[in-house]
A and B are shown apart, each in its own frame.
Chain A
Amino acid sequence: MIAYVIRRLGQAVIVMFIVSVVVFGILHLLPGGLVRAQLGPRATPLAVHDLTVQEGLNKPLVVQYGIWAWHALQGNLGFSYKLNQSVASLLGEYLPRDLLLVGVSLLFAIAIAVPLGIWQGYRRNRPDDNALSTIMLIFYSAPSFLLAVCLIVVFNIWTNLLPSTATNFGANVGTDVRVLALPVMALCLGNVSYFSRYVRSATIDNLLSDHVRTAIAKGAAPRRMLARHVLRNSLSSTVTLVGLTLPYVLSGSLVIEALFNFPGMGLLFWNAAQDRDFPVLLGVVLVVTVATVVGNLLADLGYAALDPRVRLR
């Protein structure tokens, strides 16, 4: 297991290295390069020259990369002229809110999807399964902003139960819960349908497998059979799915954030894109990439923890 973890970590480091080279390359290709990226297009030639020397940007490319990577590692991702703030501090402000939003919605999605999928698999092709499958298919195929609009209509416009914008997020814990409710739901529903379809089919595969037949032949009741012989096996492959979905959830949250005016990375990215604020854009890209790599890593480790065939290889 330890060798496995080390191996996976090693691979993650390599991927991160490649990604950082690509991001560095893009920054370098920007008109004016890194300096303009930091100072903005209207900086004076003198300021540009000063910064170039100061940052070592007249040195060979490899050295420049080294300097940039060293800074990036220390959290220095450049400066946003538009917002007059360092990228790192911007991310530091926006990212935790996103992690909260995405984390909570993922947790809810898993907590709903796993039991639902297992139940549907167990009752496969019976009326209740069919009804649930149809509902899930609707959630699955509807774009997330449509779901969000529907939620706003139902919970805000018709019943006025929940606020439809999240601008005053961070006021206090009590308002936060209400403010978060709709964005979390909107993000959650699509994932529930996605995950539960997967758990359902994994459960069906498991139920038809020889080892479950063995369990029934031993006299196991349905509850025991599902809990001991199906759940874990279905989960191990679902964990992979969740890990791999992480970047999609993150980028999916961009739309939702824009819609609910939630002050997260999505909003940051959205505004930066309109202002051509490249340092911020690339900073967000870097964060999403790290999330992808970390998601992959977590998926692999979770899979290994659940499946001894991987763990003990």
Chain B
Amino acid sequence: MSQDVMTDPGKRPVLQVQNLRTEFRLRSSTVVAVDDVSLTVHEGECLGLVGESGCGKSTTGLSIMRLLPRIGHITGGKVLLGERDLTTLSEAEMRKVRGNDVAMIFQDPMTSLNPTSTIGVQVAEPLRIHFGTHRKAAAKRALEMLDLVGVPNPRERMDDYPHQLSGGLRQRVMIAMALTAQPKLLIADEPTTALDVTIQAQILDLLDRLREELSMAVLLITHDMGVIAGRTDRVMVMYAAKAVESTSTAELFEDTRHPYAKALLESVPQLTASSSTLLPTIPGQPPDLTNLTGGCRFAPRCRHAKPDCGTAEPTLEELEAGHLVACFHPVGSEPEPAADAPELAAPAPEPVADEAADEPAAELPTVVQRVQAVLGITLEPRPAEPPPAGPPAAAEPVGAQAAADPMSAPVLVEIERLFKEYPVRRGLGLGFGPPAASVKAVSGISLTIRRGETFGLAGESGCGKTTLGRIVAGHEHPTAGTVRIDGKEILRLHGAELRRGRRQQQLMFQDPYASLNPRMRVGAIIREPLMVQGSGNRRQQWERVAELLGEIGLSRRAMDLYPHEFSGGQRQRIGLARALALNPGLIVADEPVSALDVSIQSQILNLMKRLQRDHGLTYMVVSHDLSVLRYLSDTIGVMYLGKLVEYGPADDVYDAPAHPYTHGLIQTIPVPDPKIERTKEKAAVRGELPSPVHPPSGCRFRTRCPLAQELCAQQEPPMQVFGPGHVAACHFPLQPPTTLEPPPGVQLAMTDPRGDA
């Protein structure tokens, strides 16, 4: 099928990929990583390629550039750049294309630049390679490019090495380098995934501007539906190496036809979503590409699946002009089946690793049987009502904890005037002498967290939010200040009391890959805290492990497996089980889902909510992702350079932020809705985070604040009250302050001694 999306007659196609097929030859098997994918990018146009990790979107980009790793081979199709088919070029001819006609930028600007060579040399290199430009002339052009991409003081930066620049600047340098030779096509592979939202918005604005100025074609590869909505003209959604839906961006969001694309959009936590509902999820995981069973690849997870979906594989068909969908029963063509109940009660155990092979049903693995096994449902069309098991449907409130007025619950955590500074040593470094300066990670933060609520802590990386979380979890000592949990000062505890105290709060880490010991079996990992605390005898401990595995939706078999045998989502569940083992009152979760794909992320978020309801847990969630925080949190705190700038009930803070920084952060989050995205102000927070070693005087945000005035540099703004429990620190807030009492534990002025206990 070489039929393609909407050919706009006005513009010339720059790139036409036709029926591309890319294989990875592994030792024992061959994986088709890109299967029959066709796409076209026109001059000045941005085509979005979206999907979850492993769907083949990045491999498509690398195939076009012929940058595949050694085991990767293009085994079919054409990649037409103008008239030339790139797949037939010799390696020497291909080298003339790379960096000249087609350029590519990558996800991680930290590692994608050569650490041993200067910025100027690297940006000039394509000219030296392709045109043999004289060194001086190439350097001059590099300077122009750095200026064009908005690198401040480009002349001084030319002689800098990459490690001297921030992540955002490095990505600008990558873009400058990619564009020096003025390519016709730019492939941007997750260009902003490693960056903060504020910087992401700036980089995407830059790409938009350059695309227009240079009338370049852009292939934007991303997992973020929000980025797609705001920045692309057309979209192609990929799933399990196949294109499943392809249309204009507006059409995709208005009239999503493929069940996967639809489910993906639904499972993104929305900024506007109330935190009292469960997220719709996509159950299960993407299929194993080494072991495809035939039929539609999405069938085991598809709500719309019918028996015929298991027998043949759907191909892309044009439903309407320019709207291609690969599905036998597209959304909207038949009556909508019941929304699948997201993880409500303890979910049916997820099959782990090769477990499926043990199931009798797997001997004749018809898709229907697999679907039934995974979902625990029958595939007859169901009435549109909650399943009989009785757990609440997607729209019902979660648990009494959240529904009851969180403002009246007793306080669990009290943080008072907390400071944390890390010394920066200079001089001879012989281990003595006073430190020359210090990084001010946390600078006088006071706040409270109520029992049973979720407190979300937001801010850019480097703002000190992780440090604060680690101090509350007892993993780090503050320089000054106190943390009380349940009235006890955790930093004063010793010996047995300390150990008992540790049970009270548990830390859940960001990276599910790095935080589990790869040499320990999962059972032992979960049992470890029980052993350390000496709770119960051996048998009781193993019983508890089994119970915990049930709670997080894994089968008992998981106990005997090693972490690498699990997917990222499953590992994060295991991390959650380990944190839960001692029945802690408080769980501090540091970026609990940021390493996961959207469909898996929503499963974990729902699981966290369910566990909170069942066990009366209190969460402190630290995240840069405001949508995730919005979904989880009852109360929100926003940090900027070590200071709490705004604090209050999540709804109030999101709907009516008082601090310009909070407002800017919310503005910069890409929303999966083209209509909102297109009308948004560009990059609402300018510039980059200043150094935490020498924070600006007065209001620390003033160097990036659009409302800053002289007063802001002279005086630190006091906390003011903007509603019940809602405070912010700004001289010129976005709404008038009230005279209400501040929430307990929050001081209005820094000099004020704390009022109540």
Q: Does B98 contact A (CB under 8 A)?
A: yes
Nearest opposing residue in chain B for A125, CB measure: B70
Nearest opposing residue in chain B for A9, CB measure: B428
Interface segment among A35-43, A145-153, A303-311: the answer is A303-311
Q: Does A214 contact B (CB under 8 A)?
A: yes
Q: Does B115 contact A (CB under 8 A)?
A: yes
Q: Which of B138-194 touch A at CB < 8 Å? A: 161, 163-164, 174, 177-178
Q: Are A219 and B100 in contact (CB under 8 A)?
A: yes
Interface segment among B105-113, B502-510, B517-525, B701-709: the answer is B105-113
- State whether A307 and B116 are in contact (beta carbons under 8 Å apart), knowing that A7-B429, A217-B65, A218-B177 are contacts in the complex: yes
Interface segment among A229-237, A240-248, A267-275: the answer is A229-237
Q: Which of B106, B116, B126, B164 contacts A213 (CB 8 A)?
A: B106
Q: Which of B129, B429, B430 contacts A218 (CB 8 A)?
A: B129
Q: Are A224 and B111 in contact (CB under 8 A)?
A: no
Q: Does A177 contact B (CB under 8 A)?
A: no
- State whether A219 and B97 are in contact (beta carbons under 8 Å apart), knowing that A214-B114, A233-B116, A306-B116 are contacts in the complex: yes
Q: Does A49 contact B (CB under 8 A)?
A: no
Q: Are B112 and A219 in contact (CB under 8 A)?
A: no
Q: Which of A14, A219, A232, A236 contacts B98 (CB 8 A)?
A: A219
In the assembled complex, the CB of A227 is this many whole angstroms from the nearest CB of chain B, namely 11
Report the Cα distance A264→B113, complex, angstroms. Answer: 48
In the assembled complex, the CB of A37 is this many whole angstroms from the nearest CB of chain B, namely 34
Q: Does A104 contact B (CB under 8 A)?
A: no
Q: Are B161 and A218 in contact (CB under 8 A)?
A: no
Give the chain B neighbours of A306 by CB distance below 8 A: 116
Q: Are B97 and A213 in contact (CB under 8 A)?
A: no
Give the chain A neighbours of B129 by CB distance below 8 A: 218-221, 224
Q: Are A211 and B163 in contact (CB under 8 A)?
A: no
Give the interface residue-count category, chain B. Answer: 35 or more
Report the Cα distance A3→B428, complex, angstroms. Answer: 7
Q: Are A214 and B112 in contact (CB under 8 A)?
A: yes
- State whether A215 and B114 are in contact (beta carbons under 8 Å apart), knowing that A7-B429, A220-B125, A224-B129 are contacts in the complex: yes
The total number of A-B Cβ pairs within 8 Å is: 91
In the assembled complex, the CB of A221 is this many whole angstroms from the nearest CB of chain B, namely 6
Most A CB within 10 A of own CB, among B103, B112, B114, B426: B114
In the assembled complex, the CB of B750 is this many whole angstroms from the nearest CB of chain A, namely 34
Nearest opposing residue in chain B for A220, CB measure: B129
Give the chain A neighbours of B116 by CB distance below 8 A: 232-233, 236, 306-308
Nearest opposing residue in chain A for B92, CB measure: A221
Q: Does A132 contact B (CB under 8 A)?
A: no
Q: Does B67 contact A (CB under 8 A)?
A: yes
Give the interface residue-count category, chain A. Answer: 20 to 34
Most B CB within 10 A of own CB, among A7, A215, A221, A307: A215
Q: Does B568 contact A (CB under 8 A)?
A: no
Q: Does A209 contact B (CB under 8 A)?
A: yes
Give the chain A neighbours of B96 by CB distance below 8 A: 219
Report the Cα distance A280→B143, complex, angstroms. Answer: 62
Q: Are A209 and B111 in contact (CB under 8 A)?
A: yes
Q: Are A211 and B115 in contact (CB under 8 A)?
A: yes
Q: Does B117 contact A (CB under 8 A)?
A: yes
Q: Which of A7, A11, A213, A309 contacts B115 (CB 8 A)?
A: A309
Q: Are B67 and A309 in contact (CB under 8 A)?
A: no
Give the chain A neighbours of B95 by CB distance below 8 A: 219-221
**Chain A interface helix/strand/loop/mixed:** helix
Give the chain B neighbours of A53 by CB distance below 8 A: none
- State whether A217 and B99 are in contact (beta carbons under 8 Å apart), knowing that A7-B428, A7-B430, A308-B163 are contacts in the complex: yes
Give the chain B neighbours of A229 by CB distance below 8 A: 114, 117
Nearest opposing residue in chain A for B108, CB measure: A210
Nearest opposing residue in chain A for B107, CB measure: A210
Q: Does B475 contact A (CB under 8 A)?
A: no
Report the Cα distance A306→B429, complex, angstroms. Answer: 21
Q: Are B111 and A309 in contact (CB under 8 A)?
A: no
Report the Cα distance A274→B428, complex, angstroms. Answer: 44
Give the chain A neighbours of B126 by CB distance below 8 A: 218-219
- State whether A219 and B130 are in contact (beta carbons under 8 Å apart), knowing that A7-B430, A11-B430, A307-B115 are contacts in the complex: yes
Report the Cα distance A216→B98, complex, angstroms. Answer: 8
Q: Does A142 contact B (CB under 8 A)?
A: no
Nearest opposing residue in chain B for A212, CB measure: B114
Give the chain B neighbours of A224 by CB distance below 8 A: 129
Give the chain A neighbours of B430 by CB distance below 8 A: 7, 10-11, 14
Q: Does B104 contact A (CB under 8 A)?
A: yes
Nearest opposing residue in chain A for B106, CB measure: A210
Give the chain A neighbours of B106 by CB distance below 8 A: 210, 213-214, 217
Report the Cα distance A232→B178, complex, angstroms. Answer: 23
In the assembled complex, the CB of B130 is this many whole angstroms from the nearest CB of chain A, namely 6
Give the chain B neighbours of A312 by CB distance below 8 A: 161, 163-164
Report the Cα distance A43→B112, complex, angstroms. Answer: 71
Nearest opposing residue in chain A for B65, CB measure: A217
Chain B 681-717, CB-CB to A under 8 Å as 1, else 0, gives 0000000000000000000000000000000000000
Give the chain A neighbours of B130 by CB distance below 8 A: 219
Report the Cα distance A82→B657, complex, angstroms. Answer: 89
Nearest opposing residue in chain A for B113, CB measure: A211
Q: Does A228 contact B (CB under 8 A)?
A: yes
In the assembled complex, the CB of A197 is this many whole angstroms from the nearest CB of chain B, namely 21
Give the chain A neighbours of B174 by CB distance below 8 A: 214
Give the chain A neighbours of B103 by CB distance below 8 A: 217-218
Report the Cα distance A265→B163, complex, angstroms. Answer: 45
Q: Does B427 contact A (CB under 8 A)?
A: yes
Give the chain A neighbours of B161 by CB distance below 8 A: 308-309, 312
Q: Does A6 contact B (CB under 8 A)?
A: yes
Give the chain A neighbours of B67 by CB distance below 8 A: 213, 216-217
Chain B 513-545, CB-CB to A under 8 Å as 1, else 0, gives 000000000000000000000000000000000
In the assembled complex, the CB of B96 is this many whole angstroms from the nearest CB of chain A, namely 7
Q: Which of A10, A214, A216 contacts B113 (CB 8 A)?
A: A214
Report the Cα distance A228→B202, complex, angstroms. Answer: 31
Q: Are A217 and B104 in contact (CB under 8 A)?
A: yes
Q: Are A308 and B115 in contact (CB under 8 A)?
A: yes
Report the Cα distance A14→B429, complex, angstroms. Answer: 13
Report the Cα distance A306→B117, complex, angstroms. Answer: 10
Give the chain B neighbours of A233 by CB distance below 8 A: 114-116
Give the chain B neighbours of A228 by CB distance below 8 A: 114, 117, 125
Report the Cα distance A224→B177, complex, angstroms. Answer: 17
Most A CB within 10 A of own CB, among B108, B117, B164: B117
Chain B 251-271, CB-CB to A under 8 Å as 1, else 0, gives 000000000000000000000
Report the Cα distance A218→B429, complex, angstroms. Answer: 40
In the assembled complex, the CB of A238 is this many whole angstroms from the nearest CB of chain B, namely 13
Give the chain B neighbours of A7 by CB distance below 8 A: 427-430
In the assembled complex, the CB of B348 is this many whole angstroms from the nearest CB of chain A, namely 40
Give the chain B neighbours of A219 by CB distance below 8 A: 95-100, 126, 129-130
Q: Are B98 and A211 in contact (CB under 8 A)?
A: no
Q: Are A211 and B427 in contact (CB under 8 A)?
A: no
Nearest opposing residue in chain A for B101, CB measure: A219
Nearest opposing residue in chain A for B118, CB measure: A308
Most B CB within 10 A of own CB, among A233, A308, A312: A308
Give the chain A neighbours of B178 by CB distance below 8 A: 217
Give the chain A neighbours of B114 by CB distance below 8 A: 211, 214-215, 228-229, 233
Report the Cα distance A119→B130, complex, angstroms. Answer: 25
Chain A 258-301, CB-CB to B under 8 Å as 1, else 0, gives 00000000000000000000000000000000000000000000
The 7 closest A-B pairs by CB, nearest first: A219-B99, A218-B99, A210-B111, A308-B161, A219-B98, A211-B114, A210-B112
10 pairs, A vs B, C-beta closer than 8 Å = A14-B430, A210-B112, A211-B111, A214-B177, A216-B98, A219-B129, A232-B116, A306-B116, A309-B115, A312-B161
Q: A213-B67, A217-B104, A233-B115 are in contact. List 13 more A-B contacts (CB 8 A).
A: A7-B430, A210-B112, A214-B114, A214-B177, A215-B125, A216-B67, A217-B65, A217-B103, A219-B129, A232-B117, A233-B116, A307-B115, A312-B163
Residues of B within 8 A of A (CB): 65, 67, 92, 95-100, 103-104, 106, 108, 111-117, 125-126, 129-130, 161, 163-164, 174, 177-178, 426-430
